[in-house]
Chain A
Amino acid sequence: MIQKKVCMVGVQGTGKTSLVQQFVHSMFSDRYLSTVGVKIDRKALDLDGTPLTIVLWDLAGRDGQEDITTSYLRGAHAILYVADGTRKETCDQLGELRALAREAAGEVPELLALNKIDLTDRWALDKRYEETLAREWDLVRTSAKSGTGVEEAFQRLGRATLATKEARS
């Protein structure tokens, strides 16, 4: 069985844990509990006949006091960045987070989940800003609450890990 380590990276409160909960357990909770350290979950996928187990490393989010712990990213096969569309500052920090993560994990497949699209009345990004993000990132709009885009985001990242040179050799 092929196993791939996928790290979830983003600012605190963007919904990383909720995306994992939705993807792995088909559950959503409004209750917010910040992640301490790393929570690990697994999900087996069948990608066009290729079995793949994604080992999800849900990292504590970056907050005002502490940055992400980059040692957790070593050995990652892919990184799922998560930003909260109702808080523009979580998107503004993506460039810094990407630089930190690339330093630790190298150039691995990455994808941005632009999360909380169900909160339309609180959406903080204008069309132009979203277009800029879409140019810079492989982007999937997600809602951990409704499940929209969640399966697609992880499947797309899973496929990308299988397509890397290391995976083919």
Chain B
Amino acid sequence: MTATATTGARVDAKGLTDIGKKRKANEDHFVVLTLRKAVEVRDSSLADPQVFERLRGPEGWLFVVADGVGGSAGGALASETAVTTLVEFLGQATASFNRIEPDKEHELLEQLEAAVHAAHRKITETYGGGADRGRNAPSGPATTLTMALLVWPRAYIVHVGDSRAFYLRKGQLRQLTRDQTTGEYMVNMGVWTEEQAAAAPVGGTLVSAVGADEMTPAVGLVDLQAGDTLMLCTDGLTRHVNDERITELLGRGTDAAGACRELVDEALAGGGHDNITVIVARMA
């Protein structure tokens, strides 16, 4: 998927998901889409109807990855529901992407968070679970959710769980998200070392997920530049492919589709223990 945004940025974006080698089902989902307020003149007596082109809003790109947890079909349903609900919610708020003035930016950020909360509600209402469930009721399915809304040049990131967002600039890979896992929390609190967290059986347990008892979206943003690459992925990639290797693969400069393929193949070659999902967006 390649398009030139009205702002002049050319974005080549693609996503790819793979079941991996060990799992019986793919519980990951992703979406790459554009959002735009469009004015299209179908007919007119005006001398220059193209004047209305100026009403066409800048294009927003939305990238979402979600990694369902909960076993059997539950995880896949949770991630699918989260992605669908998120897109529906944001699609109804398209006016927000028309033009983002600095004094209106907080409204957009609230909309993005509200979209994640809407997905959380939808999952807990549909499949049970969440903090409001009965005391003895089993926890329902849940999902990670990492999204980036790109309104050039700014990428707004909202993230829950341990799916990650990175960007590559001039050969340097930077992680935009921090995993919401027990291991990360214990290291932050100074209880465990990073090595202990990596070795602990519960180190990778999510402390926050969409549909789970605890759901705390983390919000951030970054201004991108031409030449940058944005990458979102589930942990099926990062458990097998380290940052150095991701940097190397993304740095090859292949198109977005090729970069996705290379990353997924690398994770499969590393063992493919989990479902693998990657979105790559190249800015030119």
Which A residues have a C-beta under 8 Å from some C-beta of B? 3, 5, 29-31, 33, 36-41, 55, 69, 71-72, 74-75
From B101, B109, B190, A40 is in contact (CB under 8 Å) with B109
Interface flag for B187 (CB, 8 Å): yes
Of residues 151 through 166 on chain B, the ones whose CB sits less than 8 Å from some CB of chain A are: 157
Residues on A with C-beta less than 8 A from B175 are 36
Residues on A with C-beta less than 8 A from B109 are 40, 55
Contact flags B165-203 to A (C-beta < 8 A → 1, else 0) = 000000000111010000000011110000000000000
A-B pairs with beta carbons under 8 Å apart, 18 shown = A3-B106, A5-B102, A5-B105, A29-B189, A31-B188, A33-B178, A37-B220, A37-B221, A37-B222, A37-B223, A38-B220, A39-B219, A39-B220, A40-B109, A40-B221, A55-B106, A75-B102, A75-B105
Residues on B with C-beta less than 8 A from A55 are 106, 109
Given contacts A36-B220, A36-B222, 7 further A-B contacts (CB under 8 A): A5-B102, A29-B188, A30-B190, A37-B157, A37-B176, A55-B109, A69-B223
Residues on B with C-beta less than 8 A from A40 are 109, 219-221
Interface flag for B103 (CB, 8 Å): yes
Which B residues have a C-beta under 8 Å from some C-beta of A? 101-103, 105-106, 109, 157, 174-176, 178, 187-190, 218-223
Query: In the complex, what residue of chain A is closest to B194 when comparing beta carbons?
Result: A31
Residues on A with C-beta less than 8 A from B220 are 36-40
Residues on B with C-beta less than 8 A from A31 are 187-188, 190
Min CB gap B154→A, angstroms: 8
State whether A29 touches B190 (Cβ < 8 A).
yes
Q: With A33-B178, A36-B176 as given contacts, are A5 and B106 in contact (CB-CB < 8 Å)? A: yes
Min CB gap B3→A, angstroms: 23
Residue with the highest number of chain B CB atoms closer than 10 Å, among A37, A41, A69, A74:
A37
Query: In the complex, what residue of chain A is closest to B222 when comparing beta carbons?
Result: A37
Instruction: Please report the C-alpha to C-alpha distance between residue A31 and residue B189 in the assembled complex, in whole angstroms.
Output: 8
**Could you count the A-B residue pairs with CB atoms below 8 Å apart for me: how many are there?**
46
Residues on B with C-beta less than 8 A from A36 are 174-176, 220, 222
Instruction: Please report the C-alpha to C-alpha distance between residue A69 and residue B223 in the assembled complex, in whole angstroms.
Output: 8
Min CB gap A99→B, angstroms: 20
Query: In the complex, what residue of chain B is closest to A73 when comparing beta carbons?
Result: B102
Residues on B with C-beta less than 8 A from A29 are 188-190
Residues on A with C-beta less than 8 A from B176 are 36-37
Min CB gap A124→B, angstroms: 25
Residues on B with C-beta less than 8 A from A71 are 223
Instruction: Please report the C-alpha to C-alpha distance between residue A46 and residue B219 in the assembled complex, in whole angstroms.
Output: 23
Nearest 4 CB-CB pairings of A with B: A75-B102, A37-B222, A40-B219, A29-B188
Min CB gap A89→B, angstroms: 24
Residues on B with C-beta less than 8 A from A5 are 102, 105-106
Query: In the complex, what residue of chain A is closest to B109 when comparing beta carbons?
Result: A40
Min CB gap B121→A, angstroms: 20
Min CB gap B14→A, angstroms: 23
Instruction: Please report the C-alpha to C-alpha distance between residue A37 and residue B224 in the assembled complex, in whole angstroms.
Output: 10
Min CB gap A9→B, angstroms: 16
Min CB gap B5→A, angstroms: 17
Query: In the complex, what residue of chain B is closest to A34 when comparing beta carbons?
Result: B174
State whether B106 touches A38 (Cβ < 8 A).
no
Residues on B with C-beta less than 8 A from A41 are 219
Residues on B with C-beta less than 8 A from A38 are 220-222
